[in-house]
Amino acid sequence: MTRISLLGIPHDDNSSFFKGPAQAPAHIRPELFSDAYSMWSETGFDLTDRLVDHGDIRFDVATDPWDLIESEVGRVLEPGDPLICLGGDHAISWPILRAVRRRHPSLTILHIDAHPDMYDAYQGNPRSHTSPFARIMEERLADRLIQVGLRTVNDHHRDQFKRFGVEVIEAARFGDDLQLDLKTPVYISMDLDGLDPAFAPGVSHREPGGLTTRQVINLIQSVNQPIVAADIVELNPPRDIANLTAIVAAKLLKEIAGMMVKTRA
């Protein structure tokens, strides 16, 4: 039976404006495991006995957080189970993918977000949560990067797209019939602000005009290659309303996990 590993990464030191995403794992888990909701995914798999929760990474001042994330993700991946990481801000995707890439020499990133997160550096910080995909592509941690739902693209981003060969589907050009031509195992990076704030208000940087929850689920369910790992990032609980975004995060986690099982069957 395919099992899915969970790992919390409560880190937001590189958030550029609002802090808060470090609190996210503690808010997603109660919604994920609440008796108020089913543990069945829409793909038809009961996740009750499939999720293996490895708890949260504990950060300390003595260890570089990037080294610790890479090491802990590598440890959790060792048995070969797919992994879903709960952020945290989007900066954590870089060290996660360092560990994932070692196990997957062919890899496509499906990145759902309002923002490209491709700044060479932001406010002088190359580890900024606005910069992880510049670092990821510099280090060739993926063969393809497909970004979906963008709606804050500027000229610097466009230069970066050309530099790294990024495939971009902005929110304005998103269609419900979108079909991705995927050829390799897939890593999903799910920034919750990729959703319209009507569906996910609990994020640091709300950007109207985004995707619906249904559109994101349909996109996840369209993946026809093995999903080997994923992150769900940028939930900011102090900015949430009635835990709505935490509930959405838990729902998306279940649908990603269901597709992890389905694509490995």
Residues within the annotated binding site? 90, 113, 115, 117, 191, 193
Produce one character per residue of 135-165: b if its CB has 16 or more CB atoms within 10 Å, e if not. bbbeeebbbbbbbbbbbbbeeebeebbeebe
- Name 73's Cβ contacts closer than 8 Å, sequence gap at least 6: 7, 83, 85, 95, 96, 99, 100
Residues within the annotated binding site for Mn(2+)? 90, 113, 115, 117, 191, 193
